[in-house]
């Protein structure tokens, strides 16, 4: 069990560019979550997968955000046409059913 890993740790991009983040969950976990966290705030739910199926997506998530989890293993989160308001820490977590979340250390996105 190597824990949840996220890549990259930091990403600086210019407004309007697309970015993609990757999350590798704990291998036996069938649930995978993406959260966004801004400074001084708690994590805000973005989306949730059970195996390869995306079961829930926050209504706050614009159409510029898309997430995938092919084959129910790793997941990617893509943000198209980034805006300065997208600057945040993007956290991935995985879990088994009815169990606590295991978080990665996040990808910090800065949009200039």
Partner 1 sequence: SQQGEEDPQALSIQEGENATMNCSYKTSINNLQWYRQNSGRGLVHLILIRSNEREKHSGRLRVTLDTSKKSSSLLITASRAADTASYFCATTSTGNQFYFGTGTSLTVIP
Q: What is the DSSP string of 64-97?
A: TEEEE-GGGS-EEEEE-S--GGG-EEEEEEEE-T
Of residues 6-35, which lie at the interface with partner 1 (CB under 8 A)? Answer: 31, 33, 35
The minimum distance between CB 58 and partner 1, in angstroms, equals 9
Nearer to partner 1, 14 or 27 (CB): 27
**Residue 56 contacts partner 1 per CB under 8 A:** yes
Distances (CA, A) of 16 to 27, 84, 112: 34, 9, 10
**Residue 105 contacts partner 1 per CB under 8 A:** yes
Neighbours of 106 (CB within 10 A): 21
**Residue 101 contacts partner 1 per CB under 8 A:** yes
What number of chain residues touch partner 1 (CB under 8 A)? Answer: 27
């Amino acid at each position: 069990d190597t824990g949840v890993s996220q890549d990259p740790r930091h990403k600086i991009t210019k407004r309007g560019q697309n970015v993609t983040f990757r999350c590798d969950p704990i291998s036996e976990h069938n649930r995978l979550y993406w959260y966004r966290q801004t400074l001084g705030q708690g994590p805000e739910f973005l989306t949730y997968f059970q195996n390869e199926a995306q079961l829930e997506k926050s209504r706050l998530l614009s159409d510029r955000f898309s997430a995938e989890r092919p084959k129910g293993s790793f997941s990617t989160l893509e943000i198209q046409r980034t805006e300065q308001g997208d600057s945040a820490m993007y956290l991935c977590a995985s879990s088994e059913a009815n169990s606590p979340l295991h978080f990665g250390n996040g990808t910090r996105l800065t949009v200039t």
